[in-house]
Each structure stands twice: as structure tokens, then as C-alpha cells.
Chain A
Amino acid sequence: MHILVVEDEPKTAAYLVKGLREQGYVVDVAHRGHDGLQKAKSLPFDLILLDIMLPQMDGWSVLSALRRTDSQTPVLFLTARDSIEDRVRGLELGADDYLVKPFAFSELLARIRTVLRRGPARHPEVIQIADLEIDLPRNRVSREGRRLDLTQKEFQLLSLLARRSGEVLSRTVIAEEVWDMNFDSDTNVVDVHIRRLRAKVDTPFPIKLIQTVRGRGYVLDADR
């Protein structure tokens, strides 16, 4: 997967490149709008990350110039401006998504995956991670072959972590996906839910599956 990053801020560009390369993407960088447009036209990228506030030629212009010749390559806007008009304008010009700075890197990865996946993701009906087995259609969870008794929300939380196993999920994403709450706060509401889930899923067993990643969130991973 080949990604073009058009970003003038050197630090932002540097960490984007580093983070994306570590995730296995091939990454090219352009620091100015013109260069970005040139590269986008000469190479077949799978995705373009485009900053809006660029010197001389801004992100809007790059996108509209690009869309004249290329209507396929997905474009993800990165910007510090998040007024509704800006969002609408970006989407009207043909951007595929819009991410407001500051964002969590895991959030960016999730958006990139969504854009690249194109179309609904297919989930297996039964997820098997180490000795954990989740039967999604039947709402059943077992470890070491023993049925675990989870509430509806606990089941949803566990299956979210399992479906995106290996991916660090922020508290915001968890609140959104499990409780349908668009809530972003300092409180440890999600932590309490995780603690209760752990008490049922991890505490009785030798292998701990749910890991806390300080400053980022939670991940379900057998190998950490």
C-alpha cells in the first residue's frame, strides 16, 4: 500500500511517515502543495493524506486540481480547522474523510483502514484468540472451554476488542462503538467497564488478554 503525505509542518510529516512505515505502508512525503500534486499525478498512490493549510497552494487547490484528472485515489484531509463549512467543502471537493488535529494516531490508522477497505468489512462468525473463543451469532464467550457469563454490554466490549485484536482502541472509540456515546472526557468511565470485563475474562485465567496501553487505550492481544 502506497501512501502520499502532503504536510508542510516537518514534525507532523516526520511522525506520520514513521508511524505509517512501521505499520507496513510505503510512504512518500511532499512538503508543498505543488510538489504533492506533481507526485500524486506521476505515481499511482493508494491514499493521499492532505493537509489544508499549506504554503502557496493550499489543500483545497491541490484536491480540486487532482480531481480534474484523477477521481479515484482516496484523499483524507488533515486539518486544524473544523468548522462545518470546511468539512462540507472538503467532502464536496471529493475528499473521502476529514480528520481534525490533534488526533490520536490510532484514530488515523482506523480511518485509513476504513478508506482503503472500501466496502463493509467481513467479520468471521467465530473469533478465536489464544484460548478465548467468541461466538458472535450466539452471543457466547468461553475460555479454556468454559462458558463465561457476560452482560450484553460486556459482550459487545469484548467482541469489539477481539474483532480489532492487535489494534489499540482509545477510550473515545470504545465509548462510541459500545455505548453509542459521543463522549470525550477525563473520567475513567471506560476504565471501570474494562476492569469489570477483566475480572470475568482475564482474572481467573493464567493468560492475560486485555492490555492497557498507557496514554492510548486498550488492546486485546495474546502476544504482548
Chain B
Amino acid sequence: MSLTPTAKTEVLRRPWSLAMILTSYYSLSAFLIVLLTVLCLQWSMTSKLNRKSDQSLVDRGRLLQTLIQELKSDISSLLNVIGRPPDVDLLPQYLIRVTDAAERTIAETPGMALSAPTQQFPPPSEFTAPEVRDIKSANRVLRLFAANVETGNSDQGVWRVQIALDRTQEEEVLRQYHANSRLALVLAFVACLGVGYWIAQRGMRPLRDVSFAAESIQVSNLNQRLETEGMPLEIQQMAQTFNQMLSRLERSFARLSQFSADIAHELRTPVNNLRGELDVVLDRKRSPDEYAETIGSALEECDRLTRLIESLLFLARAEHPETQIERSSCQLGRELHTIRDFFFDQAEEAGITILVEADESLETELNRPLFQRAIGNLVMNAITHTPDGGTIILRGLRQGQTALIEVQDTGCGIPEAHLPHLFERFYRVDPSRSQISGGVGLGLAIVKGVVELHSGAIHVISTPNVGTCFQLTIPAFSPVLTS
């Protein structure tokens, strides 16, 4: 939803798709968990098997020690214990050799000299801390262990037992297990990628729905809204924001098209008058006076059109945020007196008194023509709506750094329902009446535009049958330097 132009993003780097990022995060983390689990299982299995082998070696060693001590060097019994190969085909699980202190063999399992010669054994170690060594010999994996054994016989001294454990089966199990683990890991990786992608796609679907809906919105169907029900919370919020934006756009567009319709309507009346008058006068020969009369009337319609166009142009400019006006220091009181003088006679003919109550020392930075236009519009309105014997008061007061300008009348007032719309373009409190009084409903919109161009604000207080007071607050000094 970025507002930067897309061209710029393309020049930089193609952004990552959110689905891709999510997929890779999901897959990677899931795969890491699988990997850790597998490694952990492998480690525990290997170490368990190792411990078991070591333990059986130690057990066998202890058994031998007991035998040696009990049999008191009865070699033949010992040989029975060590055993012969039960079968030629079947290899024994343990190979045992007993040597004396000088490493001369006293007894050994047949065939052991070949598969596990004496020199390959690790140095003798304690049963409590066995030192073992793995060797490979003729397709077999042997774990070797040696220990010194007290014979309990002084002339025989210390013997040594060497035990080899056949671990081929365990190694095979482990090897198989490793191979299976690797395969499982590869499968898990693929599965993680797939599931991650699926999750991401699924998570993004509402987002895609929103974007799809947004794509389909045109000026002609601005009344459409996104269906937020059933959406995930986060997306719901976004969709609601989007809907609010649509509502605002819809309102603005409605206002704009209403505005265009109003303009067209307002243009139609004077143009129609022009056409009609000129058509009729050309219908037959007429006296010069009649021609002059008609042309004069046509000119009046032209003036009306000109004023309408100027008002519309002014409003368009006032609305533009970058429009700046020139302001110069004016004595507010004197300006109000000027306006009073101008309207005095007309007000007097309507039986209305205009008064000025102003802080004569108050200097305010104003654009004079615009200010006169704004206050003039308000005074004209006041004269139109104030009955015989009424009063209009123009006030100019200081309020800290701002000037408060009031136009108060003792007129018929404005019903409360109209107050919020009063400053809208072409808004008329009484449509039928304003046509007679000549206004087109732009006067107050212009007043507001002027006040806003002066960085000020306008308020209206009105009580039906008591009167209306327009209050304008304008910063006495413009915040920026005038051009």
C-alpha cells in the first residue's frame, strides 16, 4: 500500500514477496526442530549402545577376575570358561585372552590372535573407568578392553585379561539408523517447505482478497465495501481502514458531482436569459431603444456569469493548499468604517442601522480586497435578512494575538438544522428566496475561503427571530512572510 511510485521501486531491487519470506521462515524453523530432534535421538542412541558395550566388557572382566581368583590358576577350567568356538561358522560374541605380567598368553579364545592381536589393545584400565578402543578386523567391529587382575597368588603376581566385544551388530544398527535419519531429514525438509508454503499462502489469502477487491473499485462503484466478516483480526483492521477511506472518497466524489451539477444549473439560468432575450429581439425589426435595452440586459447577464466564474475560480484557489495571499497591515477599525459607509445608504433605505464597534488601535494584516469581499458578503446577507428597525453591528476586537471580527444582526436567524451546512458551496437555507435576492449560494463559502486563506476560523451563532452573529478570528499577524 506504499504511495511511492512503482517505477522507483523497480529501479532499486525487486522486493521480496511476503509469501516467500513467510515460507522460508516457516520451513527453516520447522526443519531446524526436526534436525535437532534427530540429532538428539542419534546421540542418545549411540551413547546408550556405547555404555551398554562398555558395561558388558567390564562385567565380563569382573567375572574373569573372580574366576581367576577362585580357580587359582586352574588353566583348564579357565579355558572352559573362556570357551571354544561353539561352531566354526558362528563367531563368538566375546574374545578373551589371559596373559601373565610379561604379556605371555596363558589362554585365549581360538582365532583371537588373528582378529585381535595383543598389541592392538589399549593399556589396562580400572573397571570403574574403562578405557576402550574400537578396531575393524575382517568385516567385524571389535571393542577392546584390558584390565589387570590380582591372581591372589604371589608367584603368579598380576595377570592381565584382554576382552574383545563383537559390536558388528550394534554398528550395523547404528549405520542403518543414521541412513534412515538422513532420509527422514531430506523428506522432512521437503515437507517443511511444502507445509510452510501452504501456511503462507493460506495466511496471505485474505490479503489477496483485499487487494483483489481494491483493484475492482472504480469511481462508478465507490459504494462497494470489503466484507470484513470472517477475516483475520489484523486484516480486518486494514480492511476497515480501507472501507473508511472508501467512504471518505465516496462522500468527496458525491460532493464534487453535486458541485458540478450545481455549477451547470447556475450557468444555465443566465445563458438561458441571454439566449431568450436575444432570440426574441431578433424576431422582428425594433426601435434602437429596444435594442439598447435588450443589449443592456444581456450585458447584465454577462456580468452575472462573470461574477459566478470568478467566485468559482476563487473557491477553487482558496481550496488549494499552496495558495498564498498577500497581506498588508491595516487598521481594522478603519476598514470596518469603510464597509459601513459603503452599505450605509442601502441599509438606511431598509430601515436598518449599521454600527461599528472597533478597537481603533488594532492593526491586522489583511488582504484588503478579500477582506472587503468577505465582510461585504456578510453585511449584504444581514441586510437581506434583517427586518425594518433592525441593527447590524460590525465589531473588531483584539483577542491576544488574534483579531475577532463579528457581524451581528437582529434578523430572522437561521434554523439550527442549517448551521452545519451554511458554508457549503451552493447551499441555500431557503432555495426559493435566495433566487430573488440574487445570490447563488456561494457568498458564505467565499467568506469561509477568505478566512481560511488568512489562517483564521469562522463560527456562527444564531437564534431564530433574535439574530445571527458571524464570528471571524484571524491571526493579527500572518505567520509567514508575505511574498
Contact with A214, one of B300, B307, B339 (Cβ below 8 angstroms): B300
Contact segment of A3-11, A53-61, A112-120, A185-193: A185-193
- Pair B345/A186 contact, Cβ less than 8 Å: no
In the complex, chain B residues whose CB is within 8 Å of the CB of A196: 345
- Pair B338/A180 contact, Cβ less than 8 Å: yes
Q: How many A-B residue pairs have CB under 8 A?
A: 66
In the complex, chain A residues whose CB is within 8 Å of the CB of B298: 215
- Pair A189/B343 contact, Cβ less than 8 Å: yes
Q: Indicate with 1 or 0, residue by residue over B341-379, a CB within 8 angstroms of chain A CB atoms.
A: 111011001000000000000000000110011001100
Contact of A181 with B345 at beta-carbon distance under 8 Å, contacts A186-B307, A214-B300, A215-B297 already known: no
- Pair A185/B342 contact, Cβ less than 8 Å: no
- Pair A185/B380 contact, Cβ less than 8 Å: yes
Contact segment of B11-19, B198-206, B288-296, B417-425: B288-296
Q: A22 on the interface (CB 8 Å rule)?
A: no
- Pair A214/B293 contact, Cβ less than 8 Å: yes
- Pair B338/A184 contact, Cβ less than 8 Å: no
In the complex, chain B residues whose CB is within 8 Å of the CB of A213: 296
Contact with B376, one of A185, A188, A214 (Cβ below 8 angstroms): A185
- Pair B342/A215 contact, Cβ less than 8 Å: no
Query: Which residues of chain B from 281 to 315 have any CB-CB distance to chain A below 8 Å in the complex?
Result: 292-293, 295-300, 302-307, 309-310, 313
Give the number of residues in A that approach B within 8 Å (Cβ atoms): 22
Chain A, Cβ-Cβ closest to B310 = A184
- The interface centre, meaning the residue of B292, B302, B341 with most chain A CB atoms within 10 A of its CB, is B341
Q: B438 on the interface (CB 8 Å rule)?
A: yes
Minimum distance in angstroms from B424 CB to a CB of chain A: 20
Minimum distance in angstroms from A80 CB to a CB of chain B: 10
- The interface centre, meaning the residue of B299, B309, B342, B368 with most chain A CB atoms within 10 A of its CB, is B342
Q: B439 on the interface (CB 8 Å rule)?
A: yes
Contact of A181 with B342 at beta-carbon distance under 8 Å, contacts A214-B293, A214-B297 already known: yes
- Pair A183/B299 contact, Cβ less than 8 Å: no
In the complex, chain B residues whose CB is within 8 Å of the CB of A192: 345-346, 349
- Pair A183/B376 contact, Cβ less than 8 Å: yes
Contact of A182 with B368 at beta-carbon distance under 8 Å, contacts A192-B349, A196-B345 already known: yes
- The interface centre, meaning the residue of B303, B310, B313, B349 with most chain A CB atoms within 10 A of its CB, is B303
- Pair B346/A182 contact, Cβ less than 8 Å: no
Q: A21 on the interface (CB 8 Å rule)?
A: no
- Pair B338/A181 contact, Cβ less than 8 Å: yes
In the complex, chain B residues whose CB is within 8 Å of the CB of A214: 292-293, 295-297, 299-300
Contact of A102 with B342 at beta-carbon distance under 8 Å, contacts A214-B296, A214-B300, A215-B295 already known: no
In the complex, chain B residues whose CB is within 8 Å of the CB of A25: none
Contact with B341, one of A82, A153, A182, A215 (Cβ below 8 angstroms): A153
Q: A216 on the interface (CB 8 Å rule)?
A: yes
Minimum distance in angstroms from B326 CB to a CB of chain A: 8
**In the complex, A213 Cα to B295 Cα: how many Å?**
10
Minimum distance in angstroms from B482 CB to a CB of chain A: 12
Minimum distance in angstroms from A98 CB to a CB of chain B: 16
**In the complex, A90 Cα to B339 Cα: how many Å?**
32
**In the complex, A204 Cα to B376 Cα: how many Å?**
33
Q: A175 on the interface (CB 8 Å rule)?
A: yes
**In the complex, A184 Cα to B305 Cα: how many Å?**
12
Minimum distance in angstroms from A195 CB to a CB of chain B: 8
**In the complex, A82 Cα to B296 Cα: how many Å?**
27
Contact of A216 with B296 at beta-carbon distance under 8 Å, contacts A179-B342, A183-B376 already known: yes
Query: Which residues of chain A from 104 to 152 have any CB-CB distance to chain B below 8 Å in the complex?
Result: none
**In the complex, A179 Cα to B342 Cα: how many Å?**
6
Jot down 7 A-B pairs with beta carbons below 8 A, ordered by A.
A175-B342, A181-B342, A182-B373, A183-B342, A184-B307, A184-B310, A186-B307
Taking Cβ atoms with an 8 Å cutoff, the residues of A that contact B are 82, 102, 153, 175, 179-189, 192-193, 196, 213-216
Taking Cβ atoms with an 8 Å cutoff, the residues of B that contact A are 292-293, 295-300, 302-307, 309-310, 313, 338-339, 341-343, 345-346, 349, 368-369, 372-373, 376-377, 380, 438-439
9 cross-chain pairs, A with B, having the tightest CB-CB distances, nearest first: A214-B296, A215-B299, A215-B296, A182-B369, A186-B438, A179-B342, A192-B346, A192-B345, A181-B342
Other CB < 8 Å A-B pairs besides A102-B302, A179-B342, A185-B380, 12 of them? Answer: A179-B341, A181-B342, A184-B307, A185-B307, A186-B307, A189-B343, A214-B295, A214-B300, A215-B295, A215-B296, A215-B300, A216-B296
